[in-house]
């Protein structure tokens, strides 16, 4: 991170010195607080230490700090209070109308809702135009978006309008999305994404809705574009999770129609999640907002799907019939996944890692692709061996993720690796072996192996550190 400001330093000549004492390093402050801090605060402390050691002149301190913009807090107390107040006011209006519903005329009911709706929108627009506090703008926009949905529901009830399935929720989501764009308002956008996810859930649970809910995909794409435009990370998380909920239900219902088995459907989910993960993480390197969030969700849920592949293997019978009509679809998905892995791996910034990434990606995708065919082709006695191989690969993948998480900026990968390792241990303990003695032997062997790997890794790291120190 220090590279972004080193160009401003007039003492770059000291970086060329070979002695380790002359290299610029973060200052060690006695009793330093280890809690997370902003980049600017950390830079101020490091600069003070460098100035004391004579590595940076005093007059360079302010120009360096002025080149780093101040980070704004994610929210303020006043803004949070305004948003919470907006929620309470919305509930108050709805409760008042509901309490006096029976005694009001139709026109009065409709007029109250419309009046409150336009007052909220007008307040948000006026506050935004006058440059008032962002909390006031977001609060008014949020009230307006909530009242828009209430107006839809109450209007339908007042005039006996029978909505087609869950169209009211869809219109509400579109209205809240329009509010978020016009004002603009991130809280209104978050509300729109939640309502859109609610509409998806209502459609999936509705027996009258079509089996394949394709209508959510264009809505998701529009909301994703709005989340990118407004830079809303919360909306990006909601959209990422809802996309994979939609994908899981779509694959399940497609399997019911086309005859895909459970293991084939889960394999397809893992393949698509891997494709989205690699594409999203690659797009993050191109500074595409939300791509990293989508990629990490895809990675996490793809790992969960790969772990869940073990359960269909348990109930697999002897040479169960495998529907041949689904094989072309699986083959096409595998070929596309392998091609995308290879293309993205070749474009990795670190060229030295391109070949290993391509090989590992091709191996993983090929294994997931071939797993359904292998499971159905093997004898029942060989299926247990296949389960052992899959379990060992999951343990190896978890260890690789944990090792990757030890590197700077990859904490999420390490966390996912730990969770996958724990989940796999619980699965092995519960189902894989028939007796506690066999399970104990398995865990003992695995623990000894991990201790050995830890010792070897520590020795290798120590040698590397010594080699680096001697080269300096």
Could you report the per-residue pLDDT of 305-314, keeping only the tens digit for each? 888 878 877 6
Checking if the pLDDT of 37 tops 50, the result is no
The predicted model gives 222-234 an average pLDDT of 93
Residue 253's nearest CA partner among 210, 307, 195, 201 is: 210
Q: Provide the domain limits for residue 455.
A: 436-472
CA dist 280 and 289 (Å) reads 10
Q: How many helices (H) and strands (E) does the chain have?
A: 17, 0
Residues 464 and 358 in one domain: no
For residue 326, CA distances in Å to 269, 276, 332, 380 come to 14, 22, 10, 23
Residue 264's nearest CA partner among 280, 279, 252 is: 252
| pLDDT for res 46 | 84
Q: At 219, is the pLDDT very low, low, confident or very high (cuts 50, 70, 90)?
A: very high
Checking if the pLDDT of 222 tops 90, the result is yes
Under 8 Å between Cβ of 404 and 410: yes
CA dist 113 and 153 (Å) reads 11
Could you report the per-residue pLDDT of 239-278, keeping only the tens digit for each? 999 999 999 998 888 877 666 777 778 878 887 887 788 7
Checking if the pLDDT of 31 tops 70, the result is no
CA dist 470 and 137 (Å) reads 60
Range in 134-138, 230-234, 235-239, 242-246 the model is least confident about: 134-138
| pLDDT for res 247 | 92
229 is a domain residue: no
Residues 316 and 419 in one domain: yes
Range in 55-64, 88-97, 203-212, 391-400 the model is least confident about: 88-97
User: What's the sign of the alpha-carbon dihedral 426, 430, 432, 433?
Assistant: positive
User: Which of 66, 81, 108 marks a domain boundary?
Assistant: 66
Residues 390 and 428 in one domain: yes
| pLDDT for res 361 | 57
CA dist 69 and 420 (Å) reads 39
Angle, nearest 10°, between helix axes 436-471 and 380-405?
30
DSSP line for 275-337 = HHHHHHHHHHHTT-TTHHHHHHHHHHHHHHHHHHTHHHHHT--TT----GGGHHHHHHHHHHH
Residues 6+ apart with CB under 8 A from 136: 82, 123, 127
323 is a domain residue: yes
Two structure tokens written together for 170: 């869809």
Range in 152-166, 289-303, 352-366, 435-449 the model is least confident about: 352-366
The predicted model gives 188-196 an average pLDDT of 94
Checking if the pLDDT of 36 tops 90, the result is no
Range in 44-58, 65-79, 387-401 the model is least confident about: 65-79
| pLDDT for res 371 | 65
Q: At 107, is the pLDDT very low, low, confident or very high (cuts 50, 70, 90)?
A: confident
167 is a domain residue: no
Residues 6+ apart with CB under 8 A from 450: 399
Query: Which residue would you say has higher pLDDT here, 10 or 466?
Result: 466
Task: State which of 25-29, 139-143, 368-372 shows the largest mean pLDDT.
Answer: 139-143
User: Which of 47, 66, 85 marks a domain boundary?
Assistant: 66
**pTM of the entire predicted model:** 0.70
Residues 334 and 411 in one domain: yes
Two structure tokens written together for 223: 């909301």
State how many domains the chain has: 3
| pLDDT for res 419 | 87
Could you report the per-residue pLDDT of 317-363, keeping only the tens digit for each? 444 444 444 555 556 556 666 666 665 655 555 444 444 555 555 55
Query: Which residue would you say has higher pLDDT here, 344 or 135?
Result: 135
Instruction: Label residues 106-126 b or e (16+ Cβ within 10 Å = b).
Output: eeebbebbeebbeebbebbbe
Residues 401 and 449 in one domain: no
Residues 339 and 427 in one domain: yes
User: What's the sign of the alpha-carbon dihedral 405, 416, 304, 389?
Assistant: positive
44 is a domain residue: yes
Residues 428 and 458 in one domain: no
| pLDDT for res 75 | 53
Residues 336 and 422 in one domain: yes
For residue 247, CA distances in Å to 113, 202, 269, 336 come to 37, 15, 8, 18
Q: At 168, is the pLDDT very low, low, confident or very high (cuts 50, 70, 90)?
A: confident
Q: Percent of the chain, pLDDT > 70?
A: 63
Could you report the per-residue pLDDT of 62-99, keeping only the tens digit for each? 888 777 766 555 556 666 677 677 778 777 767 776 67
Residues 414 and 312 in one domain: yes
Checking if the pLDDT of 196 tops 90, the result is yes
| pLDDT for res 197 | 94
CA dist 296 and 413 (Å) reads 9
Provide Rg for the chain, Cα atoms: 29
Query: Which residue would you say has higher pLDDT here, 430 or 376?
Result: 430
Angle, nearest 10°, between helix axes 262-285 and 291-308?
150
Residues 315 and 405 in one domain: yes
Range in 75-79, 207-211, 316-320, 413-417 the model is least confident about: 316-320
| pLDDT for res 224 | 94
| pLDDT for res 34 | 38
153 is a domain residue: no
The predicted model gives 200-227 an average pLDDT of 88
Residues 316 and 397 in one domain: yes
Residues 319 and 425 in one domain: yes
What's 206's DSSP letter? -
| pLDDT for res 323 | 47
Checking if the pLDDT of 438 tops 50, the result is yes
Range in 16-25, 86-95, 148-157, 266-275 the model is least confident about: 16-25
| pLDDT for res 185 | 87
Query: Which residue would you say has higher pLDDT here, 427 or 260?
Result: 427
Query: Which residue would you say has higher pLDDT here, 276 or 222?
Result: 222
258 is a domain residue: no
Q: How many C-beta neighbours within 10 Å does residue 361 have?
A: 20
User: Which of 16, 39, 66 marks a domain boundary?
Assistant: 66
354 is a domain residue: yes
336 is a domain residue: yes
| pLDDT for res 87 | 73
Query: Which residue would you say has higher pLDDT here, 364 or 356?
Result: 364
Q: At 102, is the pLDDT very low, low, confident or very high (cuts 50, 70, 90)?
A: low
Residue 367's nearest CA partner among 340, 345, 386 is: 386
């Amino acid at each position: 991170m220090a590279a972004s400001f080193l160009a401003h330093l007039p003492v770059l000549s000291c970086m060329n010195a070979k002695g380790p004492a002359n290299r610029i390093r973060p200052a060690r402050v006695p009793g330093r607080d280890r809690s997370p801090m902003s980049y600017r605060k950390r830079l101020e402390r490091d600069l003070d230490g460098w100035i004391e050691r004579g590595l940076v002149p005093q007059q360079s301190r302010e120009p360096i700090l002025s080149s780093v913009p101040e980070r704004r807090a994610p929210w303020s107390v006043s803004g949070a209070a305004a948003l919470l107040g907006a929620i309470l006011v919305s509930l108050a209006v709805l409760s008042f109308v509901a309490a006096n519903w029976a005694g009001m005329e139709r026109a009065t009911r409709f007029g109250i809702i419309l009046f409150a709706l336009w007052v909220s929108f007008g307040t948000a627009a006026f506050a935004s135009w006058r440059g008032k506090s962002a909390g006031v703008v977001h609060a008014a926009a949020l009230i307006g978006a909530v009242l828009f949905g209430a107006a839809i529901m109450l209007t339908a009830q007042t005039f006996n309008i029978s909505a087609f399935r869950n169209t009211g929720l869809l219109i509400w989501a579109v209205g809240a999305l329009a509010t978020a764009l016009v004002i603009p308002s991130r809280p209104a956008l978050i509300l729109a994404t939640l309502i859109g996810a609610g509409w998806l859930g209502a459609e999936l649970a509705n027996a009258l809705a079509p089996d394949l809910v394709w209508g959510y995909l264009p809505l998701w794409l529009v909301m994703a574009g709005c989340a990118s435009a407004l830079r809303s990370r919360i909306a990006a998380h909601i959209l990422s999770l809802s996309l994979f909920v939609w994908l899981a239900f779509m694959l399940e219902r497609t399997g019911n129609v086309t005859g895909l088995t459970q293991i084939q459907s889960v394999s397809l989910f893992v393949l698509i999640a891997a494709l989205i993960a690699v594409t999203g993480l690659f797009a993050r390197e191109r500074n595409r907002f939300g791509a990293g969030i989508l990629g990490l969700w895809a990675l996490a849920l793809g790992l969960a799907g790969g772990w869940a592949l073990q359960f269909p293997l348990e109930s697999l019978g002897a040479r169960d019939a495998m529907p041949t009509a689904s094989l072309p679809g699986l083959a096409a998905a595998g070929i596309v996944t392998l091609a995308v892995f290879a293309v993205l791996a070749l474009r990795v910034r670190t060229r030295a890692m391109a070949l290993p990434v391509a090989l590992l990606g091709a191996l993983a995708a090929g294994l997931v692709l071939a797993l359904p065919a292998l499971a159905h082709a093997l004898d029942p006695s060989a299926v247990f061996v296949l389960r052992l191989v899959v379990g060992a690969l999951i343990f190896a993948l978890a260890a690789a993720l944990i090792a990757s998480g030890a590197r700077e900026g990859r904490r999420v990968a390490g966390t996912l690796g730990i969770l996958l390792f724990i989940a796999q241990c619980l699965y092995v303990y519960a189902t894989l072996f028939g007796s506690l003695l066999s399970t104990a032997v398995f865990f003992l062997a695995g623990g000894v192996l991990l201790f050995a790997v830890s010792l070897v890794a520590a020795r290798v790291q120590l040698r590397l550190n010594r080699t680096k120190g001697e080269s300096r």
